[in-house]
Chain A
Amino acid sequence: MSQRAAFRRKQTLFRWVTVTAVLAFFVLPLLGMLDFTTKVRRGGRTLATWRTLSHVSEISTRYPALKEGFLASLGLCVITVVLMLALLVPTMTWVRLRLPGLSRTVEFICLLPLTVPAIVLVVGLVPVYAWVFYLFNESTLWLALAYVVLVLPYAYRALDAGLRAIDVKTLSEAARSLGASWFTVMWRIVLPNLRTAVLSASFLSVALVLGEFTIANLFSRRNLQVAMYQLGKSDAKISVAVGLVSLVFAFVVLFAMSFVGSGRGGRRARRAAAPAIPAASPAAAAAKES
């Protein structure tokens, strides 16, 4: 008995050590950033940078590029998430219902972007975007098309896990037999049961789009990251402060996601009597989903 208790104590200790190490890995750079933004050259501290940042009107007048990049990234998040969901949810459901033989192919295609470096993607996309910019306008929001490709692997994984957890075939057949149209099946039966998965996929996409730099920069479009980079050349402090805010925001989003996952959708997990392991860090949550 005491042996088992000792083992359990050891296990708890190990868990805490791991969690602390992982947290330190993520938190230390953030602390460094915070330190940098509050430092005064000859010693002492100032909150001037943060004060500037907390005044929205001041930012938009003093750093118009930052405002432009922020709004562009926000728009890109929304468009990417909507496009991704509209593309993936019906496709994946349909493949599961009617074309199970294609599921490997679809998975392969969706995971492909993971293996393609962003720079290669850009080389491939240049002619496409040349036409898009020529035919329509030069809006940064067109980048959403490339971002949908970029988020495919993560979104696919998240949605796939959700679809696996429910018997889509039986549920949709039951709904069909009760008189539901395909649209009703998607809207009233499949989506509500995929709630958690859809949220995960969306959060992951948002986190990814907010942090995207390479593609935007190579296309000379200004999103949040590009704006921050450009700003860093003239006003490093404000740039790092914005970087810190966006990092913390992404962490919070991912952290929230792990709680959403264990909330309503956790009914199933609780029934399976799995011991609840607290989500150690946003990174762990992200790793779990991808």
Chain B
Amino acid sequence: MTVASPNAARGVAVELIGLRRTYGTVNALDSFDLHLAPGEFVALLGPSGCGKTTALRCLAGLEDPDAGRITIGGRDVTALPTNKRDLGMVFQAYSLFPHMTARQNVEFGLEMRRQDKATRAKRAGDMLDLVGLSTQADRYAHQMSGGQQQRVALARALAISPQVLLLDEPLSALDAKVRTQLRDEIRRIQLEVGTTTLFVTHDQEEALAVADRVGVMRAGKLEQLAAPLELYARPASAFVADFIGLTNRLRGRATGDRAEILGGSVPLLPGSGSGDVEVLIRPEHIDVTPDADGNASVLSASFLGAHGRVTATTDAGEQVLVQVPSASLPDFSPGQRVRLTPRGDAALAVAL
């Protein structure tokens, strides 16, 4: 397990063991296990309703699991109420106390811990400095932008030096540019303070960009928990491959640890099926060349900035997305015959 934070020693381990939570007939969490190493930044990713927020709320104590155990730094907190769990939490939006200034918001948690006025003021100043808002200390929430509000919320959560930091889709209410900015800032600050962090999001780019490990959830279960690169290159299931990035599903035949598709052969990832299969292959793992005797014809070619995408239909009638360098995009026009060949990177195959 890789832990990037140089200050990881300050963090504590967090364990969620066999959590179960049902709402009526829906299993929001189903024997859910998750271990966070000290100082680790783990993102939970999944479609809406997959249970990621329930997992975070169970850890926060805002939701009671029907079964299972939660420990923070080796201490069993399953029966502990939220206010005794020593956590910092950042919500989606509107979580700043509207009748308090930014500084008072940040001081609130310290007040709850009965720290004296001077200590509180100093700590609040430091934290607002950390998020770059020391000049806005006396503003109320309604006088700040969404991004600033979330920064204050982060400062407030971290001011109490919590054992665990919980981020519940803190960026989803912000516009794209602020989102990337704040995302990187959250990561920088997390590395600086070394707090074990659980981050819930439905935005895969966000998760892949900042987390040490990303857990992909589906129907209350963890499908795969791995480092972002690993998750992308070696998805454990068709769901993960589909959910993370773009994937082509191509019919082929698997024998041993290889499969035949598009007239070529690709190595298969462990856990792949055999016989008649669907091979999940990334658009950047296929080559496309103009060829009058090719095996496909171009449907469309689109420019996406740094690279282009060619959509082609194979002679078998399957649609394939291929990523090409922008410079070679003019070589392709709709209706043109092309040859598609797999590049030979390992792919996952699922039995039909």
Contacts and interface: CB of A to CB of B under 8 A. Distances in A.
Given A176-B82, A177-B83, A189 B97 contact: yes
Given A184-B112, A267-B142, A271-B142, A176 B83 contact: yes
Contacts of A178: 83, 88, 108-109, 112, 156-157, 160
B123 to A, nearest CB: 13
A149 B87 CA distance: 42
A170 B149 CA distance: 14
A174 B95 contact: yes
Contacts of A195: 99
A181 B83 contact: yes
Contacts of A267: 140, 142
A179 B112 contact: yes
Contacts of B156: 174, 178
B95 A171 contact: yes
Contacts of A173: 60, 62, 82, 89, 91, 95
Query: Which residue, of B62, B92, B93, B108, has the highest number of chain A Cβ atoms within 10 A?
Result: B108
B113 A179 contact: yes
A192 B156 CA distance: 19
Interface string A263-276: 00001100100000
B95 A170 contact: yes
A193 B99 contact: yes
Contacts of A180: 83, 108, 112
B98 interface: yes
Contacts of B96: 174
A175 interface: yes
A178 B113 CA distance: 9
A166 B60 CA distance: 22
Contacts of A271: 142
Nearest to B160: A178
Nearest to B159: A178
A170 B83 contact: no
A174 B91 contact: yes
A179 B97 contact: no
Interface in B75-117: 81-89, 91-99, 108-109, 112-113
Interface in B144-187: 153, 156-157, 160, 166
Interface string A159-201: 0000000110011011111111100100011001101000000
Contact of A175 (B97, B142, B160): B97
Nearest to B88: A177
A175 B100 CA distance: 12
Nearest to A179: B112
A64 to B, nearest CB: 46
Q: Which of B82, B86, B96, B140 has the most CB of A within 10 A?
A: B82
Given A173-B89, A184-B112, A271-B142, A179 B95 contact: no
A276 to B, nearest CB: 17
Contacts of A184: 112
A174 B113 contact: no
A167 B85 CA distance: 23
Contacts of A268: 98, 142
Contacts of B87: 177
Nearest to A177: B89
Interface of B: 60-62, 81-89, 91-99, 108-109, 112-113, 140, 142, 153, 156-157, 160, 166
15 contacts: A166-B98, A171-B97, A173-B60, A173-B82, A173-B95, A174-B91, A174-B95, A175-B108, A176-B83, A177-B166, A179-B112, A179-B113, A179-B160, A180-B83, A184-B112
Interface of A: 166-167, 170-171, 173-181, 184, 188-189, 192-193, 195, 267-268, 271
Given A173-B89, A179-B113, A184-B112, 11 more contacts: A173-B62, A173-B91, A174-B95, A175-B108, A176-B81, A177-B85, A178-B88, A178-B156, A178-B160, A180-B112, A192-B99
